[in-house]
Structure 1
């Protein structure tokens, strides 16, 4: 069920990022509210993937009684997220410098969420078909 949860959160984060881009400068409390919701919706899937996916892999038959393989897969998942956390701000700076406009950065973030959703489609279909059975 974690893929469906991630997909829902990523989908909801897209309009939230657009709202933040449009209304984040109106008032401090509007900024805080929308930024908090956007942070929850964007970081939630990352937290789910690094914890729930690792836990699900622990029950996979191919990794049964192989703690080294499980540790390796968990490290790859966590390391990939760390690379994204390091490269993301760099890309944001580059994208901002293209047009000196923060809208471009928000569009980059939205495209990143769409890319994540595309990568989750197969898992979402699998989870939904398992629920129907």
Structure 2
């Protein structure tokens, strides 16, 4: 997705982009990110899996996101309800069909420019396709 002001939002494509994206997320989000974070780009085969998203302007990373299956929600369901067959199946369905934006961060120098909103919109579209 490209905006008129040259902002490009997309999944990371290289190990270096993944490293930069992970760094931005961990530096800007002071709470521990519970979801598994990929170490590199993820092959998009249409399935729901943890994916790093980056927002670039002029070849510089300005924002980032981690999106993937709602693993924590499924775990909480199992912890609260036990492991009855129905609960286990429901948790599996959540992990296969429910996407969650685990983290969205924008570099401090680029806040209040609408980057976070564009990342959120991209993640919503990405989730609908996966």
Give TM-score, length-normalised by structure 2.
0.31
Give TM-score, length-normalised by structure 1.
0.30
Q: Which one scores higher on RCO, CA 8 angstroms, separation ≥ 6? A: 1
Larger Rg over CA atoms = 1
Q: Which has the larger share of helix?
A: 1
